[in-house]
Structure 1
């Protein structure tokens, strides 16, 4: 995701409002007019006291640790990962300053959480849905020149539901005749989970699993499994998937080496015939 796209997203209500909520206490303290209205007893001395500074410093540490663990790699990822911690810190600060303001902030916190969900991709996609494990195998072996990126998911799993719009957007952005995107519901077709060694239980850490196939064979998967058989944690953001499977370079490679269709060969043969006749 480019910086320009990130900046445009900030003007969407979800991000704009959450940024205001995350900065509400500091803005109220630092802007003279709001300080006079909200903290009349402190005005004009509206600097943060030692306890408030400690809370904000602790928040900074928590946000840095949590976003690193989540695998955030872009500005939007960092913001989305930090919103909940920022708002909780502001909630504490408002209650610390004035219980009434804390109650007002709590009401806003809950109402906006219920009415303003994070925006997700809802455009077109180029995803092939496989109905059986045999259907997936047949498609993988049909044309070995086609590269497949396949998501193994369960409809009841929240992580799979959250990843669905991201995968749809990636398919629309990178889909080609020789770079295709597929999905199979291993909740309905457990044979596929068994074949590709994916735990489909309610406690599974392998949902979703994305596997890259080249020439019909598995090349890479996320989340990966280490030498001890332990599932390695993976954050399924758009940028992480692109980086893990090198989608940008793979797209260029596939686009520069399109699959030759039969009618293309016929047209080339006719052109060669005309050249010889001349």
Structure 2
């Protein structure tokens, strides 16, 4: 977005940031995944108050030192993640993980039964709730496998289709859910269109498009089609699962497809 002489850019930017903060506040309250975590975290307050009245002064002093150490470590890790993260979804996932580890550890200092209770509570949340993905679409379209096949074969739409195959049951797809909409806003034009196919809803489509759905660590997969023919894929067939290889980042995703000559020529209007 270009800077405007009347300061409009800054006003619009502030409105976007304000909207993001309100949206995340609403998610914290309305989404079970976030709400359950907050409720479990807040249970430490009455537990700590009760422990202060029961424990000896020396024990309370030792516990307070450990709490300060845990708080400082958590703040440092949070700052590092703020600097390095590329999406709010990834940032929230990481800081929640840190909070769960530190809370369970500090509960172990109090009583191992309390630590086991927190570990069990977080396990139950993991089973019954799922982190919500990014909700924006950008310039991409939600497609069924039949709709995608029809768009690719009709020949009266965009010459190029960049399609994301994902499944929100995997944390990698949730963390990268904002990358594709932002990419579509930047590069969408008359020759290039963007679409998404949810393999969680249509698992049979994985085999049709040559995606190893049995290895969920390989999702999301991005395929570039030219007139119904696949011309590029990321990650490739010979790529290692993400747990052993580099994770998908916004910069990596943009750079991978910008290097494809066909896509680059049409994006630049050549």
- Cα distance 1:244–1:53, how it changes in 2: closer, same or farther (>3 A)? farther
Residue 182 of structure 1 aligns to a residue whose secondary structure is strand
Give the drift of 1:93: 1.4
Q: Does 1:102 align with 2:115?
A: yes
C-alpha RMSD of the superposition:
5.6
Give the drift of 1:94: 0.6
Q: Where do 5+ consecutive residues of structure 2 fail to align?
A: 1-15
Q: Which has the larger radius of gyration?
A: 1
Q: Map 1:147-226 onto structure 2 (within 5 A).
A: 147-152=160-165, 158-159=169-170, 162=173, 166=177, 170=181, 174=185, 178-183=191-196, 187-188=204-205, 190-193=207-210, 198=211, 200=212, 202-203=214-215, 206-213=218-225, 221-224=233-236
- Residue in 2 aligned with 1:8? 22
- Cα distance 1:6–1:81, how it changes in 2: closer, same or farther (>3 A)? farther
Q: 2:93 aligns with which of 74, 80, 83?
A: 80
Give the drift of 1:98: 2.6
Contact 1:148 1:180 in 2 (8 A): yes
- For the residues of structure 1 that align with 2:254 and 2:18, how far apart are their CA atoms? 18
- Residue in 2 aligned with 1:131? 146
- Residue in 2 aligned with 1:18? 37
- For the residues of structure 1 that align with 2:179 and 2:142, how far apart are their CA atoms? 7
- For the residues of structure 2 that align with 1:48 and 1:180, how far apart are their CA atoms? 57
- For the residues of structure 1 that align with 2:40 and 2:251, how far apart are their CA atoms? 26
Describe the superposition over 1:5-45 as per-residue Cα deviations: whole angstroms up to 9, x where unpaired: 543344223446636756876xx5xxxx9855432235696
